[in-house]
Amino acid sequence: MRGHASPFDAPEGAINWRIISSLWPYLSEFRGRLFLAMGLMGLAKLANVTVPLTLKFIVDHFEGAGTREVLITVPLALLVAYGLLRFSATLFGELRDAVFVRVAERAMRRAALQVFEHLHRLELGFHLSRQTGGLSRDIERGTTGISFLLRFMVFNILPTLMEILLVAVILLVAVGPVFMFTVFGAIAVYVAFSVWITEWRTRFVREANLRDNESNTRAIDSLLNYETVKYFGNERFEAERFDQGLAAWETARMKNVLSLVLLNSGQALIIAAAITVMMILAATQVAAGTMTVGDLVMVNAYMIQLFIPLNFLGFVYREIRQSLANIERLFGLLEKPVKVQDLPGAPDLKVTAGAVRFEDVHFRYHRERSILQGVSLEIPAGHKVAVVGASGAGKSTLSRLLFRFYDVDQGRITVDGQDLREVTQDSLRRAIGVVPQDTVLFNESIAYNIAYGRPDATPDEIREAVRLAHLDDFISRLPQGLETVVGERGLKVSGGEKQRIAIARMLLKDPPILVFDEATSSLDSGSEKAILAALNEVAVRRTTLVIAHRLSTVMDADNIVVLEHGRVIEQGTHTQLLAREGTYHRLWQHQHERASADPEMAESPQQPISPS
Ligand SMILES: Nc1ncnc2c1ncn2[C@@H]1O[C@H](COP(=O)(O)OP(=O)(O)OP(=O)(O)O)[C@@H](O)[C@H]1O
Ligand SMILES: [Mg+2]
């Protein structure tokens, strides 16, 4: 998020019109409602503006009243009218809100969904470096900001300006230009002051949000690492780190509130001064007999009535500035370019046989460090190819590239002759099933996590997947069986159980191309053997890429590729590679020695699990 210049970034201190105009689509969805709400608002304002006028007539009537009869009848009608007008001003305002609420809430929903979908479109790289805590805060504040902005742009700024204009005309006609200009002058000073102070304050708002994100990010990260915190007894350290974030936030918030005090006091001073001047003017005119008492009451009523929304306008202006700052971050997210994208009009991948080819693939995550340096390998349709090599050699990277989490920098990867970049990601990912090295589960039931492989699977199909992944024994021992909830990221089940759940859901997905990245590394050798046998059955006539450290699990592969520092240094069958007496041979010897020392693994190197 940070450091990314989006076109939505306005220079500090300028209202960002681009953001305001980009809200129009949200409004135009409900044009009917919008116009109805505007109409209601017009009625409310009209009623509001006529209230002081009615008041003037009432007062004037009393002043000039001669006979008792007039005193009773005429004012009664006026008084009732006065009451009705007051009530309708409020009523129409409420009706307007009732009509508009749908529009604002829908806009929030739309924006939140849009951002959510966009986040899922962004590449893995973005998600690996995102800060979940801060991100969720940005979304929350941004969507609230949109709703606020819509409501207040439409129903506050515009109508208040309208009201000011109406009142100005009434004052001009009823009591002369002096009053009108005084009102305008006061408003001008008021607005100028509010804008000036608000602009100055905006930096505190931004600062406070930034600090809020930071402390939230820290809190979430710390809680996700609960176990690590305990292992190292670092609760105190974590609390202090969190508190540092909070302290910065506290200071930023305090500056925010203090500057608000300044703004509010200044505004109150301007209003009080303006009302005093107007009242002195009116009082002199009444004394001179050029104005009635009713006029004085009316002027006072208008002033108060005008400055209430105007005062509100100050609040609204600063809230709008704040909302804009929040929406800016939200839209900044939406503007983040999607690096891995479908070509316009890209066709779906057509899997005929399922042959996979890596052709001279170069890849780097960051410019400074090259990970794959010209890897070429082929997995003929229906064959099983294994990739082995030291930790960090780039094995998992191969599977990420095949799944198109990233695009290759040079060379190409094809499935049945079609370049991955020229087909839709959807169709590609439907064709490939991955059991990743580190499985992460949803904090839902085991059944949910397995069915995730194919949400429309029948209970029978799920049971079959459970059986193939050798999960039935484990599940039958759970009091809640398949309905057991696995905890956040799947932390409540063991590593091996998690791997088997991942295998089960991949089996349920049932794709033509399979990738196993250390898929059985957390299993004891007994379970591993059983599962490998099941997987070998499934893998028959499917194209399979297996990544493994334990060479005994891949010795039956049609081809074994040895990867070192992002290069293929050897390949061949198990027997061929042993005969070469190269790296593979050395690795094999090494594991073999270890295996003889470890009775648990003793028999596995000698016995191929499923000779092909
Ligand atoms: N998102 C990333 N950003 C930057 N570097 C990365 C990223 N993911 C992996 N790497 C680096 O790329 C190199 C290859 O990673 P990869 O995960 O492919 O290794 P591997 O061969 O699967 O290793 P292991 O056997 O330990 O799983 C590693 O040195 C790793 O630090
Ligand atoms: Mg790996």
Q: How many CB atoms lie within 10 A of CB 551?
A: 21
Q: Whose C-alpha lies nearest to ligand 1, atom 24?
A: 391
Is residue 535 pLDDT above 80, yes or no?
A: yes
pLDDT in tens, 384-425: 999 999 899 999 999 999 999 999 999 999 999 999 999 999
**Which bound ligand lies closest to the C-alpha atom of 369?**
1
Q: What is the mean pLDDT of residues 419-445?
A: 91
Q: What is the C-alpha to C-alpha distance for residues 350 and 345, in angstroms, rounded to an integer? A: 15
pLDDT tier for residue 161 given thresholds of 50, 70 and 90: confident
Residue, of 551 and 66, whose pLDDT is higher: 551
Q: What is the pLDDT of residue 10?
A: 42
Which residues, 6 or more positions from 560, have their beta carbon under 8 angstroms from its beta carbon?
385, 386, 387, 388, 554, 571, 572, 573, 574, 577, 584
CA of residue 392 to ligand 1 center, whole Å: 5
pLDDT tier for residue 433 given thresholds of 50, 70 and 90: very high
Q: What is the domain partition of the chain in residue ranges?
A: 17-335, 356-437+512-597
**Which bound ligand lies closest to the C-alpha atom of 561?**
1
**Which bound ligand lies closest to the C-alpha atom of 391?**
1
pLDDT in tens, 180-237: 888 888 888 988 898 888 888 878 877 888 888 888 888 888 988 888 898 888 999 9
Q: What is the pLDDT of residue 282?
A: 86
Q: Is 264 in the pocket of ligand 1 (CB under 6 A)?
A: no
Q: Is 128 in the pocket of ligand 1 (CB under 6 A)?
A: yes
Highest mean pLDDT (candidates 122-131, 178-187, 540-549): 540-549
pLDDT tier for residue 2 given thresholds of 50, 70 and 90: very low
Residue, of 401 and 529, whose pLDDT is higher: 401
231 burial via Cβ count (<10 Å: 0-12, 13-18, 19+):
exposed
CA of residue 397 to ligand 1 center, whole Å: 6
pLDDT tier for residue 12 given thresholds of 50, 70 and 90: very low
Q: Is 129 in the pocket of ligand 1 (CB under 6 A)?
A: no
Per the CB < 8 A criterion, the answer to whether 583 and 569 are in contact is yes
Buried/exposed code over 168-200 (b: 16+ C-beta within 10 A; e: otherwise): bebbeebbeeebbebbeebbeebbebbeebbbe
Atom number in ligand 1 closest to CA 369 = 5
Q: For 349, which DSSP code? A: P
pLDDT tier for residue 74 given thresholds of 50, 70 and 90: low
Percent above pLDDT 90 for the chain? 27
CA of residue 98 to ligand 1 center, whole Å: 55
What does pTM read for this prediction? 0.74
Sheet holding 372-379, edge to edge: 372-379, 356-363, 410-415, 418-419
Q: What is the pLDDT of residue 54?
A: 85
Residue 233 backbone class (left: φ over 0; alpha: ψ -120 to 50; beta: rest): left
Q: What is the pLDDT of residue 7?
A: 39
Q: What is the pLDDT of residue 15?
A: 60
Query: Which mutation among 130, 361, 365 tests ligand 1's pocket best, with the greatest number of atoms within 8 A of CB?
Result: 365
Q: What is the C-alpha to C-alpha distance for residues 78 and 80, in angstroms, rounded to an integer? A: 5
Q: What is the C-alpha to C-alpha distance for residues 597 and 348, in angstroms, rounded to an integer? A: 51
Q: Is 399 in the pocket of ligand 1 (CB under 6 A)?
A: no
Is residue 432 pLDDT above 50, yes or no?
A: yes
Q: Is 391 in the pocket of ligand 1 (CB under 6 A)?
A: yes
Q: What is the C-alpha to C-alpha distance for residues 294 and 63, in angstroms, rounded to an integer? A: 8
Q: What is the C-alpha to C-alpha distance for residues 107 and 261, in angstroms, rounded to an integer? A: 32
Atom number in ligand 1 closest to CA 400 = 18
Atom number in ligand 1 closest to CA 518 = 27
Q: What is the pLDDT of residue 577?
A: 92
Query: Which mutation among 368, 395, 409 tests ligand 1's pocket best, with the greatest number of atoms within 8 A of CB?
Result: 395
Q: What is the C-alpha to C-alpha distance for residues 514 and 518, in angstroms, rounded to an integer? A: 13
Q: Is 393 in the pocket of ligand 1 (CB under 6 A)?
A: yes
| SS3 state at 496 | helix
pLDDT tier for residue 6 given thresholds of 50, 70 and 90: very low
Q: What is the mean pLDDT of residues 547-562?
A: 90
Is residue 159 pLDDT above 90, yes or no?
A: no
Q: Is 371 in the pocket of ligand 1 (CB under 6 A)?
A: yes
Atom number in ligand 1 closest to CA 566 = 14
Q: Is 392 in the pocket of ligand 1 (CB under 6 A)?
A: yes
Q: Whose C-alpha lies nearest to ligand 1, atom 9?
A: 397
Question: Which top CATH class is 356-437+512-597?
Answer: alpha beta
Q: What is the mean pLDDT of residues 13-27?
A: 72
Q: What is the pLDDT of residue 579?
A: 92
**Mean confidence (pLDDT) of the chain:** 84
Atom number in ligand 1 closest to CA 389 = 21
Atom number in ligand 1 closest to CA 394 = 18
User: Token pair of 576, please?
Assistant: 């061929």
Q: Whose C-alpha lies nearest to ligand 1, atom 19?
A: 392
Buried/exposed code over 341-380 (b: 16+ C-beta within 10 A; e: otherwise): ebeeebeebebeebbbbbbebebbeeeeebbbbbbebebe
pLDDT in tens, 269-309: 988 888 888 889 888 988 888 888 888 888 888 887 777 77
Superfamily of segment(s) 17-335:
ABC transporter type 1, transmembrane domain (1.20.1560.10)
Per the CB < 8 A criterion, the answer to whether 372 and 361 are in contact is yes
DSSP string of 238-296, one letter each residue: HHHHHHHHHHHHHHHHHHHHHHHHHHHHHHHHHHHHHHHHHHHHHHHHHHHTSS-HHHH
Beta strand 432-435 with 513-517 is parallel
Q: Is 58 in the pocket of ligand 1 (CB under 6 A)?
A: no
| Of 191, 155, 203, nearest in space to 317 by CA | 191
| SS3 state at 573 | coil
**Which bound ligand lies closest to the C-alpha atom of 389?**
1
pLDDT in tens, 460-503: 999 999 998 888 888 999 999 889 998 888 888 888 888 899 99
Is residue 1 pLDDT above 60, yes or no?
A: no
CA of residue 392 to ligand 2 center, whole Å: 7
Is residue 314 pLDDT above 90, yes or no?
A: no
Q: What is the mean pLDDT of residues 81-106?
A: 86
Q: Whose C-alpha lies nearest to ligand 1, atom 18?
A: 394
Which amino acid type is present at position 533? Answer: A
Q: What is the pLDDT of residue 383?
A: 93
CA of residue 389 to ligand 2 center, whole Å: 10
Q: What is the pLDDT of residue 8?
A: 42
Atom number in ligand 1 closest to CA 366 = 4
| Of 489, 484, 412, nearest in space to 443 by CA | 489
User: What's the CA angle centered on 417, arms 416 and 418, to 5 degrees?
Assistant: 95
Per the CB < 8 A criterion, the answer to whether 547 and 399 are in contact is yes
pLDDT in tens, 235-244: 999 999 999 9
Q: Is 397 in the pocket of ligand 1 (CB under 6 A)?
A: yes
Q: Is 126 in the pocket of ligand 1 (CB under 6 A)?
A: no
Q: What is the mean pLDDT of residues 136-163?
A: 81
User: Token pair of 401, please?
Assistant: 């590239």
